Structure 1
Amino acid sequence: MRSRFSDLRSGSTTIGPAAGSLPPHQWSAVIQYLTADELKALRLAGSKAMHLTDPSLTNHLQLRMDKAPFFLDHDDFAVSQAKEWLANRRRLVMNDASLNICSRRVAYLAANRYMNSVSEIVIYDCHRHRNIVGLLEQLPNLESLRLASYTGDQEEGVRDELELLVESVGKLYSLKKLDVEFDCIIHGSRLSFLQHLQGLKHLRLRGFDLSDGITSLGGLKDLTNLHLCHGNFYSSPINDVNERDLINLMGLTNLKEVHLEGFDSLSEVGLKAFSTIPTSIDHLALKHCQDLNQGCLQSIGRMTHLKSLHFVHSACDEVQLFDAQDVRQLNALVALKSLSLFYVLEDPSDLRVLCGLTSLETLNLALEDGIHQEDIEGLCQTSPAFRSLKKLRIFSEDCMEHSYRHGNLEIEFLKFAFGDLVHLE
């Protein structure tokens, strides 16, 4: 193939003379390895004779419902066109709230099995598409759904629409992955719809008042990944999460990854649900969980299967600092490969007590007063206690990003501010 084309990923796509004669099935063998941008470049460089607009060549890529004329209210409807573009299509995306998706057309295509191959749908501005979500129960192979709404209370009736929308999600019994993110807050009692989604394996919720409703998750026995945010990035509910509600999750014995955000005053009581699970989780992240009770480290210290542990706060959060005696309780985590301590460590020299973390490969740190050069030298002297340590990342709000090596240890300096998503593994 390289004799006919230059490297498609190099940015200089060159089409050889024999390319136009390739049949679609041979083009398909090439195109399945290309991203959407690379395919676009190939189309621009090609000719009509190459037939690169054949829908069968792109069914491995997502299809924008708001760009496909057969989904829209004001365009002509051609069943043959819809059949071609939906054949073997797995991922659909709706990302333009200004266009009206025709619910009658969606209902027709779903009822006549033209959308049976769809397994993943992403809907932005979902409060405008509640009627479409209500039709998704007709898709027998739908496994993944992401719903996002970022309007807050600026549009009248948004909260009412979202409350009705999540009720209809409860009828999508084939779902294995559900990701919901709202920038207004829905009361947790609306989470009762989750009781009907017994096949869920991945669940992410942001935009709910979790002072109520967590008990609705207790029956999701197949869950492996759980991400719960009390409120959202923009606001926190008046009442804290009742951590005793987390005890209702003790039956989720398949959990492997848990991410809790905005769970203030968390103690060993709330974490007991995850520290006593027989198969034990291997990934735990506590983000913006203010005023963590030091007793929570006792529960975490019993999670001996943990491979990654992340305490992620910002300088704006109210946190109770850990000293050497506190962090010493983590020494039982012999399988831990990645550890993050953001604004919870009193003194970086306290890390010397963590001699039990013999598998640790990545250490991420952020301190309230920053890290000075003498602190860095001290950390480098500490690193032999972590005999597997390969990377030390130091985060701050005003640093100049750079990196260097100290022996076998790679040291990175990175910027971090409130709300940032950072790679911690």
Structure 2
Amino acid sequence: MGEKCIQLLHFSVVLLVFYGNTPAVGVSSEDKIRCTEREKQALLQFKEDVADYDSVLSSWGSEEDKRDCCKWRGVRCNNRTGHVTKIDLSSSDLSGKISPSLLELQHLKYLNLGGNYLGGGNQIPVFIASFSRLQYLNLSGNSFLGPIPHQLGNLSNLRYLDIRSYYELDGGNIEWLSHLSLLRHLSLTHVNLSQATNWAETISSLPLLKNLRLQRCQLPNVVPPAHPFNSSLSLEVLDLSDNDLSSSIDSVLFNLSNSLVDVDLSVNRLKGLIPDSLGNMISLVKLDLSFNHKLDGGNIEWLSHLSLLRHLDLSGVNLSQASNWAETVSSLPLLKILRLRLCQLPNVVPPAHPFNSSLSLEVLDLSDNDLSSSIDNVLFNSSYSLVDVNLSFNPLKGLIPDSFGNMVSLVNLNLGWNQFEGGIPKSFSNLTHLQTLFLDFNNLTGELPEFLKGNSLQVLNLEGNKLSGAIPESIGQCSSLEELVLDDNSLNGTVTKSIGRLSKLRRLSLSQNMFSGSISCICTSMGVNLSFLDLSNNQLSGGFPDCWGRFEFLSVINLANNNLSGKLPNSMGSLKYLQALQLRNNRFHGELPPSLKNCENMIFIDLGQNRFTGKIEAWIGMHLTSLVVLSLRSNKFYGGIPENICHLNQIQVLDFSQNDLLGELPKCFNNFSSLVQNDDFKVPNIFFYWEQYNAFAARGYIYEGNALLQWKGVEREYTKNLQLLKIIDLSSNKFCGKIPKQVATLAELVSLNLSRNNLTGQIIQEIGQMKMLESLDLSGNRLSSEIPTSLARLNYLSVLDLSNNNLSGKIPSSTQLQSFNASAYSGNPRPEGRRTCAEVEVDQVEYPIPAMPVFSRAKSLPGDCLSLFLSSHLCLCHLHAHQGCTCKGVLDLSHVGCIIHLSLE
């Protein structure tokens, strides 16, 4: 009887609990779980303080159908009390600030605002530390700045904390973390922890921690101390990548070997031999030690013990001694991802067909090694499962085998920068899942095959081969193609209209081929996403298209070195993202359209060697203030240079040479900040980046603008070194007046060419301030007076031309100035100074003087001057002969055309 009473009592308690959580009669469950009015108003105030671009908070409101905040998007409530317990608005494109009204939500356990733009450059709100029940906090990727409030240490119930930053968050000494004893997940990626000297000990005080991510945290240089982590710590995920750690691996991982599942120590300065003790980390699924260039992998036999390993990246680690690396890797039955880039792998892959047939690799990256085996030997046993293959930058040679057609799972294939020959296999037509194909910079021949038909290609790069023939019409069926690069081949025919059907195309690069015909196809139906267009160095002709208004994102146009003609249309002014415009060496004419002033992001303009006319308008300097390179050389521009051109304070190359410009030079050269300031003054890089993201990798493309320039008296095209040149060339115009003194402020200028104008007055004495000057050409003007003595202070000067002016007096005393060729001073009335080769002293003249005089015992005649004279055809103005010195050789003046004055003593 007693037992039954106890059971009955127990049943009554259960019923009481059940009915205690059940709404009373006449009250619906819907009304019962409705959020409290105060919490609802707090959330509405939060909405009021943020900008909601994607209408994520459209369900939040006071209307009748929106009165229950527990049903709002991203909000969850306790189903018994109605209090808000969870807010998840991650990656919602919200910006603004986090309202302190949220303090009303005192029952909040879960707060995820990651991946937004909240913060507005302010500190993480301190009031967040008042959510005492909070177990999950994610503020990652927002625009918070300044120190992380140490009050977050009050959140003693936290299990998950993620405050990854891409701005400038400062974590301080992070001792506040030691109070979060329940923490299991911690991510402080990109937070500045340079002052956290005891970071490892602090982390070790968190006994339940499983996941630690401290990527790019500026951790102190050496991990303190050796074996820093407490042995009681049971970390499973450890990411210390992209710091400056310079300890040995053993000292970092010593106490963590058995529990770790995911380890990322990449991009540090870890050094020494990888210890065999890594073989004890038997739980490892992922290991990334890449790009620790002082690490030596040894024979890597320890890898064979990691039977659970699925992801291995040792890129940049020295594996030159790992002669059995392939067999070792083949012993890992679950391995899916293998990256061994830049590992100095032994020269020939050992043995043939190295990978075990039981291996089911999906990603294989052996790029940047010295593998010279046949490609079939490398991939034989891995063909069927591979999804991503990168064997670029090796000396692999021979034919690309037809067996590639068996790799039906391939999505990304990179065989670029090898020595493959022959044609592109027809079996590629079997690769229907292929998205990116790089065969660039090989020795492939033949025509482009029809394999393009029917696949999923997004990127096709065949640059730098010997391919010939026309582009097949079937390319228009590659509806997913975003990038087509066929530069530097021998392709011909027209730029097929089928390219115009590539609606998703973002990059089209066909330079250095033999294409002919018009380029009107880009106006037909080519996609509006086009951002990169390079058709330079072909044989294209016809007019300039007038459809630029449809290409909103176009950033690079290069049509240089063709036979294109016509005027530039006003529609070019709609290219607001345009950075580079290169139309050099065509037959364009007319004035520049004023609408170009709308292209305010322009960095690089080269319109040289055309027939453009008109004045250089003021809007260039007023609106295109980001210009780094501006070349209008070899055209028919007339009039003066407007003062506004000096607003180009980031200019590095300014070339107006070979036009019909006149008037005085502007007196505002000191406004060219990038040519005045030292190396601490940063100007925009004249490279352009265009990135293609796919499942394989994030790929960065570097567009190196090229320009035809006269440098040190030689006209040539510059590409890779263009960034280093700082040049002003105003030669071959009709400028008059004096050289402005402000020119001397250009202390960083490397080359100045004002030759073949009508400049008068004297060379400015301050020219010695131009300390970086290597080339100076003032020839062909009407400059007078003496050569300034400060010219002798230009220690880097290697090219000088002052010829054909009205200069007089002595050449300043300087071994450098007196070593220049006589032609540097020729065509002036009477420059003096005995080491110019215009005046020579010799002794012990032989009598009688022959028709072609031969003199011995040269006196004070420098050797370089002697050799110069022997090869010169100039007229010798003064010859003084003396006696009394020892013989230094024979002076042969047989090449001298005449002797105006001869003095024998």
Q: Give the TM-score of the pair, scaled to structure 2.
A: 0.36
Question: C-alpha root-mean-square deviation of aligned residues, in Å?
Answer: 4.1
**1:13-33 deviations in whole A, cap 9, x for unaligned?**
22334123334845x4223x3
The farther-off stretch of 165-174 and 362-371 is: 362-371
- Give the Cα–Cα distance (whole angstroms) in 2 for the partners of residues 49 and 126 of structure 1: 33
- Give the Cα–Cα distance (whole angstroms) in 2 for the partners of residues 365 and 340 of structure 1: 5
Return closer, same or farther for 1:24/1:107 CA change in 2, 3 Å cut-off. Answer: farther
2:359 alignment counterpart:
253
2:338 alignment counterpart:
226
1:407 alignment counterpart:
501
- Give the Cα–Cα distance (whole angstroms) in 2 for the partners of residues 132 and 341 of structure 1: 43
Deviation at 1:201, TM superposition (A): 0.3
Question: For the pair shown, which has the larger CA radius of gyration, 1 or 2?
Answer: 2
Return closer, same or farther for 1:99/1:346 CA change in 2, 3 Å cut-off. Answer: closer
Matched, 1:362 2:458: yes
Alignment of 1:226-245 (within 5 A): 226-231=338-343, 236=344, 239-240=346-347, 242-245=348-351
Deviation at 1:202, TM superposition (A): 0.8
Alignment of 1:267-282 (within 5 A): 267=374, 268-275=376-383, 280-282=385-387
- Give the Cα–Cα distance (whole angstroms) in 1 for the partners of residues 466 and 120 of structure 2: 46
Amino acid of the residue matched to residue 46 of structure 1? P
Return closer, same or farther for 1:112/1:45 CA change in 2, 3 Å cut-off. Answer: closer
**Larger relative contact order (CA 8 Å, sep ≥ 6):** 1
2:205 alignment counterpart:
82
- Give the Cα–Cα distance (whole angstroms) in 1 for the partners of residues 236 and 426 of structure 2: 49
- Judge conservation of contact 1:297–1:327 (CA < 8 Å) in 2: yes
Deviation at 1:284, TM superposition (A): 1.6
- Give the Cα–Cα distance (whole angstroms) in 2 for the partners of residues 102 and 188 of structure 1: 24
Return closer, same or farther for 1:42/1:421 CA change in 2, 3 Å cut-off. Answer: closer
Amino acid of the residue matched to residue 175 of structure 1? L
- Give the Cα–Cα distance (whole angstroms) in 2 for the partners of residues 368 and 190 of structure 1: 37
1:21 alignment counterpart:
104
- Give the Cα–Cα distance (whole angstroms) in 2 for the partners of residues 246 and 39 of structure 1: 56
Deviation at 1:285, TM superposition (A): 1.8
2:485 alignment counterpart:
394
| Candidates 172, 176, 186, aligned match of 2:281 | 172
Matched, 1:264 2:371: yes
- Judge conservation of contact 2:324–2:350 (CA < 8 Å) in 1: no
- Judge conservation of contact 2:51–2:95 (CA < 8 Å) in 1: yes
- Judge conservation of contact 2:448–2:472 (CA < 8 Å) in 1: no
- Judge conservation of contact 1:221–1:251 (CA < 8 Å) in 2: no
- Give the Cα–Cα distance (whole angstroms) in 2 for the partners of residues 225 and 284 of structure 1: 10
2:125 alignment counterpart:
46
Alignment of 1:282-293 (within 5 A): 282-293=387-398
Return closer, same or farther for 1:221/1:126 CA change in 2, 3 Å cut-off. Answer: farther
- Give the Cα–Cα distance (whole angstroms) in 2 for the partners of residues 332 and 121 of structure 1: 40
| Candidates 301, 315, 322, aligned match of 1:192 | 301
- Judge conservation of contact 2:478–2:502 (CA < 8 Å) in 1: no
Deviation at 1:361, TM superposition (A): 2.7
- Give the Cα–Cα distance (whole angstroms) in 1 for the partners of residues 487 and 461 of structure 2: 9
Deviation at 1:288, TM superposition (A): 0.7
**SS of match in other structure, 1:162:** strand
2:794 alignment counterpart:
none
1:119 alignment counterpart:
237
2:634 alignment counterpart:
none
- Give the Cα–Cα distance (whole angstroms) in 2 for the partners of residues 129 and 183 of structure 1: 11
- Tell me how many residue pairs correspond in the alignment: 367
- Judge conservation of contact 1:244–1:269 (CA < 8 Å) in 2: no
- Judge conservation of contact 2:398–2:419 (CA < 8 Å) in 1: no
**SS of match in other structure, 1:367:** coil
**SS of match in other structure, 1:320:** strand
1:402 alignment counterpart:
none
Return closer, same or farther for 1:293/1:188 CA change in 2, 3 Å cut-off. Answer: farther
**SS of match in other structure, 1:181:** coil
Amino acid of the residue matched to residue 260 of structure 1? L
**SS of match in other structure, 1:299:** helix
**SS of match in other structure, 1:287:** coil
Return closer, same or farther for 1:71/1:330 CA change in 2, 3 Å cut-off. Answer: same
Return closer, same or farther for 1:61/1:346 CA change in 2, 3 Å cut-off. Answer: same
Deviation at 1:383, TM superposition (A): 0.8
Amino acid of the residue matched to residue 111 of structure 2? A
Deviation at 1:220, TM superposition (A): 0.4
Matched, 1:320 2:420: yes
**SS of match in other structure, 1:245:** coil
2:112 alignment counterpart:
30
Deviation at 1:249, TM superposition (A): 1.8
| Candidates 447, 461, 475, aligned match of 1:350 | 447
**1:208-266 deviations in whole A, cap 9, x for unaligned?**
335613122121000011112253xxxx57x51x3233634224432112122125323
Amino acid of the residue matched to residue 390 of structure 2? A
User: Which protein is richer in helix relative to its size?
Assistant: 1
Return closer, same or farther for 1:387/1:321 CA change in 2, 3 Å cut-off. Answer: same
| Candidates 53, 67, 71, aligned match of 2:199 | 71
- Judge conservation of contact 1:370–1:396 (CA < 8 Å) in 2: no
- Give the Cα–Cα distance (whole angstroms) in 2 for the partners of residues 78 and 146 of structure 1: 19
Q: Which runs of 5+ in 1 are unaligned?
A: 151-157, 398-404
**1:336-368 deviations in whole A, cap 9, x for unaligned?**
233222223646x7233315x522231321422
**1:87-110 deviations in whole A, cap 9, x for unaligned?**
464424474353542346x343xx
